[in-house]
Chains A and B, each alone.
Chain A
């Protein structure tokens, strides 16, 4: 039967089981044990568990294994290549980490510059894609490609930001030594969740059925990330990673992005094909 010890004495009881209790703490615990049956029973059960667990079971490797150990290691060292990032994703993540590490002032400036560059790019594209109407009297009938709704663009940006976050979670070095700090990721997740609520309201549910489905899946993972404990909650991060891998979320985002780009590229091509026939 499992018994619950007093919360206050959990640390002392654990230290006592492993023989790590100081003399002063030992005296304090002994005094408590004389009047607390639960803690006393708990201690007995823990000692029983450790007793039953016994010493570690290790294989007795034959002597020739140890004799050849150095030789095998030397060979391996000789063949080993210089350390390099594990994968393309890891390299991409390193770049993203550097980007996130930029001073706070630089981030809005970089975003503004990005928006301006996009605008200029849009004007240039527009200039070359729309046929010129220089000759008076000539009427060119053309279909103006429908403008991409703002909400659609926001949804795409939302997907892209989620993708960056997920790549980061997948590639973060997970070790106690590395002391991963997920505070930034938690903040980004919260922002994305807030934005997702607005997008869910604004997106047309019929036209964007697949996008909304993907967003729902992503929201679950974002919720997990947003709720990671402040301390290095490695097992929770493992759960997040499992969720990302199990649902193939990164692949789904890539497919969604590709299909949207394909739709956007297909739309303006029609007038270009038809325009010369009018002349």
Chain B
């Protein structure tokens, strides 16, 4: 752990308000992006990232520095996102509504899709198809896939963060890839027919 980080943690643990602000400014984009990658929704991403900061604020006294501060915060975001997904899935109505909403407003960034000709290309449509398939992976598979592919975290760090073996990380990645491959094959078949 870097000395700067150790010093920041010490300042946080002594309750220094400016240290908390520094932490937020340093990590807000990373936590927001991770939550967005896992949930695909900017409002939820802001909500979850802020909830994570509040958790950090409340429990920084218990942080013993066994993991990197960033990894610890990532783990908090992952858990919050999994809980959010579970709560949403419990209500079939909500699930259907969000699906219909997705149909009307595909999960693309906030930028104007009509103004971007690239989005109308086949590659972009296929990418969207694969991103949707990613949403259909199990929560654990999607989390691991996002952490490795989108966040570019090494397997060892994911294993440590999620407290599972590296073998499990690899096997879940493999299963996730298989499902994406099937989705792609299905899409290609659809195109042919």
Binding site for B on A (CB under 8 A): 1-2, 10-11, 13-15, 17-18, 20, 45-46, 48-50, 52-61, 66, 69-70, 72-73, 76-77, 80, 83, 174-179, 231-232, 234-235, 238, 241-242, 245-246
Contact = CB atoms under 8 A, between A and B. Distances in A.
Interface in B6-56: 21, 24-25, 28-29, 32-33, 36-37, 42, 46, 50, 53-54
Interface string B124-167: 00110011001000111001001011100011000000111001
Contact of B155 (A20, A176, A179, A238): A20
B28 A66 contact: yes
Q: What is the interface of chain B mostly: helix, strand, loop, or mixed?
A: helix
A245 B25 contact: no
A52 B127 contact: yes
A235 B181 contact: no
Contacts of A48: 184
14 contacts: A11-B167, A11-B174, A20-B154, A53-B149, A59-B109, A66-B29, A69-B50, A70-B24, A70-B28, A76-B54, A176-B79, A232-B140, A234-B140, A246-B92
Contacts of A69: 24, 28, 46, 50
Interface residues of B, number: 62
B110 A60 contact: yes
A176 B165 CA distance: 12
B111 interface: yes
A2 B187 CA distance: 13
A209 B182 CA distance: 46
A69 B31 CA distance: 12
A232 B79 CA distance: 14
B171 to A, nearest CB: 7
A124 B180 CA distance: 67
B82 interface: yes
B89 A54 contact: no
Given A52-B123, A176-B162, A11 B184 contact: no
A73 B33 CA distance: 16
Interface in B67-124: 75, 78-79, 82-83, 86, 89-90, 92, 107-111, 123
B184 A59 contact: no
A61 B41 CA distance: 12
Nearest to B139: A234
B89 A242 contact: yes
B134 to A, nearest CB: 8
A238 B88 CA distance: 12
A241 B111 CA distance: 38
B170 A15 contact: yes
A208 B127 CA distance: 56
Contact of B138 (A10, A83, A234): A234
Given A48-B184, A57-B109, A175 B25 contact: no
Given A11-B167, A18-B148, A70-B24, A52 B86 contact: no
A46 B181 CA distance: 7
Q: Which 3 A-B pairs rank lowest in CB-CB distance, beginning with the nearest? A: A59-B110, A56-B150, A235-B138
Contacts of B90: 241-242, 245
A11 B185 contact: no
Nearest to B47: A76
A242 B95 CA distance: 13
Nearest to A46: B177
A49 B177 contact: yes
Contacts of A50: 149, 177
A176 B177 contact: no
B58 A58 contact: no
Nearest to A4: B178
Contact of B170 (A11, A76, A175, A178): A11
A78 B75 CA distance: 24
B190 to A, nearest CB: 15
Nearest to B82: A175
Given A20-B155, A177-B163, A53 B130 contact: yes
A44 to B, nearest CB: 11
- Give the one of A17, A53, A178, A245 with max B CB within 10 A: A53
B24 A2 contact: no
Contacts of B58: 83
Given A18-B149, A176-B164, A245-B90, A73 B75 contact: no
